[in-house]
Amino acid sequence: MKTKQMLTTALAGAMILGTAQAAKPPVMKMTSKIPEAYTAPDKVKTSIGTLKYFDGVPSEKSTEAIYDYLDTSRAVNVFLNSIPALSMNALREGQVAMGADACNKICIWDSLMDSKTILLTGNTSTMYAVGFMDLLKDGPTVIDLPKGMLGILDDMEFHYMTDLGVAGPDKGKGGKYLVLPPGYKGDIPKGYFVVPSKTSGLWVFMRGYLDKSLPIEQAIPAASKNIRSTLKVYPLSTVKNPPAMEFINVSGKDMHMIVPNDYSAFEKLHALIQTEPDDYLGKEAKGMMAAIGIEKGKAFNPDARMKKILTDAAAIGNGAARAISYFPRDPGNLTFKDSKAWVTAYADKDTTFTRNGAYRLDPRVLFHFGYICVSPAMAMTVAGKGSDYSMGMLDSEGKVMNGSKTYKLHIPPNPPAKDFWAITMYDTQTRSQLQTDQPFPTLGSQDKGIKTNADGSMDIYFAPEAPEGKEGNWLQTVPGKSWFIALRIYGPGKAWIDQTWRPGEIELVK
C-alpha cells in the first residue's frame, strides 16, 4: 500500500513537472530581415551633417541638428508664404507714417509718383490715391467713389476682394460701396455695393487716369481735383455726419512700403496676426507659425537659439525670393516662351496663383515680392482696354544689368498701344523706382523728345551718362547698382496680345 501511494505521488509529480515544462516556450532568436529602406543605419551623411543612430535612435547631437533643420525649414516656409501679408502690412505702416491713420485719410500723389516713394514697381504715369480700413475699429465702412476711377480692394492676406470703378460693379460711374467686417451679422442698408471682408484690415487702392485730351500740366491737377472733391470714406455709423476727408500729398516725400528682409519680418508678422480673426490664415499656416513661436494671443519671445535660427531663415527666405524673382523656374512667368529676359508678374495671367486646385508657390512669391495690386482685371488682356506689362530682368545674354555699363533696347515700329506705352526703371534691391538725377525714371510715347529711326523704330539707352546725341532716348543708371525695367502697354493692341509685335532684348553696348 505504501509503495502504491509512493508510486502515485511520483507519477503525479512527474505529470505536474511535465506540464510546466510543456507550458514554457523555447527561447528563439528572430531572424527575419527588415528591408534597409525601413530602418536607420548607424551613420548616414546628409546635407545637415552626419546623422548617427543607436539601433534607429538618433544621438543627442544628431537630434539637435535635426530640430535645428526643422525649425529653420519651417521658418523659411513661414517667411515665403507670409510675404503677401507682410507686403500689405508694409503698405499700411508706410501710409500711417505719412499721417494716414484712419479710413478718411488718403495718401495721394498730387504730382504723380517719383522715385522718392519706395513702393513695389509703382508707375509715373497715373495718379495714385490709397488708404486703409480698420473694420475691427470702425465696423462697416463706406467708400463713396468718384466717377472715372480704377481701383481695387485687397485684404490683409493680399487676396482680391473686388474692383472699384471702371472694372468694378459701378462701371466707372461712381457709387457707394459698403465693406463689412468678418462675420458681420447686422442689418445691411440698401443702395450700396456690398463687399464682405475676411480680414479686419484692408487696403483701398485707387488710380485716376489722366485726361488725354488735356496737356499734361493740366491733366495732372484735374485728376487730383476729381479725387479730392468727390471721394469719401467713412464708418457707416457716422453716415449722418461723416468725418471730413483728409488728403495727404506724398509726392516728393520719402515714403517706405516694402517688406523687411531680416528677423524683424517675424516680429511684424506676429503683431499683424494679433489684429486679425483667429481663423483667417487656415490651419496649415497657423500650425507653421505656431511651430516657430508665432501665435495669436501669446507673446513672441524666442530664446537665443531660436532667434539665431529665425535670423538665418529670414536671410535664406530673402535669397529665395530674389532668386525666384530674377531667375524664375516656372515657365508661366516668361512673357515670351523662347526668352528668359522678359518676365510677367502673373504667371499664366492667373491672379489666384493656383494650378489644379493647388498653390503655385514660386509664382506667388515672385508676384508679392516685387509687385502689388491683386485683381483679375490686372491680368486680363483685352484689346484696346486696360494695360499689360512685362519686365526686362536680364540682358540678351541672360546676365544681370550693371549700372556702370551702357545698354540699348530696340523698340520696333508701331508699338501696339492704343493709349500710350512707357518704360520705367527699377532698383533690384527695393523693386521700387531707381533713384537717379531723373526723379521720374520713365520714357515713353508721352515724351516728345524721343528720336525715332528712319523706319519708325526707337532705341532706348541705359547708362550713367547719356550717349552723345541720345539725350532724349536715355534713362540714367547708377554705377555699382543693378536695375530692371517694366514695359507698360496701355490699351494693348492685338499685335501685343498675339505677340506678333515684341520688344527687343536689352543689349550690352559697352
Nearest to 383 by CA among 488, 486, 498, 487: 498
Q: Which of 165-174, 268-277, 366-375, 432-441 has the lowest mean pLDDT?
A: 165-174
Do 88 and 133 sit in the same domain of this protein? no
Q: What is the pLDDT of residue 3?
A: 44
H or E element in which residue 195 lies: strand 193-196
Nearest to 282 by CA among 494, 508, 47, 81: 81
Angle value at C-alpha 101, between 97 and 104, nearest 5 degrees: 135
Tell me the sheet residues that pair with 508. 407
Kindly report the CATH number assigned to the domain that includes residue 472: 2.60.120.600
> Is residue 477 situated within a structural domain?
yes
Per residue in 63-79, pLDDT (tens digit) is 999 999 999 999 999 99
**Nearest 5°: phi and psi at 288?**
-60, -45
3-state secondary structure of 149: strand
d(CA 167, CA 152): 9
Region 28-36: mean pLDDT is 75
Q: What is the pLDDT of residue 157?
A: 95
Region 306-326: mean pLDDT is 98
> Is residue 35 situated within a structural domain?
no
Q: What is the pLDDT of residue 381?
A: 79
Region 451-466: mean pLDDT is 97
Q: What is the pLDDT of residue 6?
A: 43
> Is residue 491 situated within a structural domain?
yes
Q: How confident is the model at residue 446 (pLDDT cuts 50, 70, 90)?
A: confident
Q: Which of 1-5, 275-279, 502-506 has the lowest mean pLDDT?
A: 1-5
> Is residue 26 situated within a structural domain?
no
Do 251 and 264 sit in the same domain of this protein? no
Do 236 and 164 sit in the same domain of this protein? yes
Q: How confident is the model at residue 23 (pLDDT cuts 50, 70, 90)?
A: low
> Is residue 16 situated within a structural domain?
no
Please answer whether residues 228 and 181 qualify as being in contact, where contact means their C-beta atoms are separated by less than 8 angstroms: no
> Is residue 32 situated within a structural domain?
no
Average pLDDT, rounded, for the chain: 92
Do 124 and 189 sit in the same domain of this protein? yes
Region 97-111: mean pLDDT is 97
Region 423-430: mean pLDDT is 98
Region 297-304: mean pLDDT is 97
d(CA 390, CA 346): 10
Per residue in 186-219, pLDDT (tens digit) is 999 999 999 999 999 999 999 887 887 888 889 9
Do 409 and 307 sit in the same domain of this protein? no
**Residue 426: exposure state from Cβ atoms within 10 A (0-12, 13-18, ≥19):** buried
Do 172 and 306 sit in the same domain of this protein? no
Do 497 and 406 sit in the same domain of this protein? yes
Is 90 exceeded by the pLDDT of residue 253? yes
> Quick one: what percent of the chain has pLDDT higher than 90?
83
Grid cell locating 489? 502697354
Domain range enclosing 195? 102-256
Q: What is the pLDDT of residue 9?
A: 45
Do 284 and 222 sit in the same domain of this protein? no
**Nearest 5°: phi and psi at 246?**
-125, 120
Do 107 and 252 sit in the same domain of this protein? yes
Q: What is the pLDDT of residue 432?
A: 97
> Is residue 232 situated within a structural domain?
yes
Q: What is the pTM of this model?
A: 0.91
Q: What is the pLDDT of residue 2?
A: 45
Amino acid, res. 133: M
Q: What is the pLDDT of residue 18?
A: 47
Region 478-500: mean pLDDT is 95
End-to-end CA separation in angstroms for the chain: 127
Grid cell locating 251? 509726392
Q: How confident is the model at residue 4 (pLDDT cuts 50, 70, 90)?
A: very low
Domain boundary among 303, 326, 349: 326
Do 160 and 252 sit in the same domain of this protein? yes
Question: Parallel, antiparallel, or unpaired: how do β-strands 246-249 and 105-108 relate?
Answer: parallel
Q: Following DSSP, what letter does each residue of 391-427 receive, concatenated?
A: EE-SBTTS----TTS-EEEEE-SS--EEEEEEEEEEE
Domain boundary among 268, 298, 326: 326
Is 80 exceeded by the pLDDT of residue 311? yes
> Is residue 427 situated within a structural domain?
yes
Please answer whether residues 290 and 72 qualify as being in contact, where contact means their C-beta atoms are separated by less than 8 angstroms: no
Nearest to 433 by CA among 114, 29, 175, 128: 114
Per residue in 376-393, pLDDT (tens digit) is 988 887 887 778 999 999
Do 162 and 230 sit in the same domain of this protein? yes
Q: What is the pLDDT of residue 26?
A: 64
Nearest to 422 by CA among 406, 444, 455: 444
Q: Give the count of domains, the chain.
A: 3
d(CA 220, CA 209): 9
Do 277 and 175 sit in the same domain of this protein? no
Q: Quick one: three-class SS letters along 247-299? A: EEECCCCCEECCCCCCCHHHHHHHHHHCCCCCCCCCHHHHHHHHHCCCCCCCC
Q: How confident is the model at residue 397 (pLDDT cuts 50, 70, 90)?
A: very high
Kindly report the CATH number assigned to the domain that includes residue 250: 2.60.40.1610
Please answer whether residues 407 and 463 qualify as being in contact, where contact means their C-beta atoms are separated by less than 8 angstroms: yes
Q: What is the pLDDT of residue 29?
A: 64
Q: Following DSSP, what letter does each residue of 48-83 receive, concatenated?
A: TEEEEEETTEEPHHHHHHHHHHHHHHHHHHHHHHTH
Q: What is the pLDDT of residue 8?
A: 47
Per residue in 333-357, pLDDT (tens digit) is 999 999 999 999 999 999 999 999 9
Kindly report the CATH number assigned to the domain that includes residue 75: 1.10.3360.10
Region 107-132: mean pLDDT is 95
d(CA 67, CA 285): 19
Is 70 exceeded by the pLDDT of residue 272? yes
Q: What is the pLDDT of residue 385?
A: 77
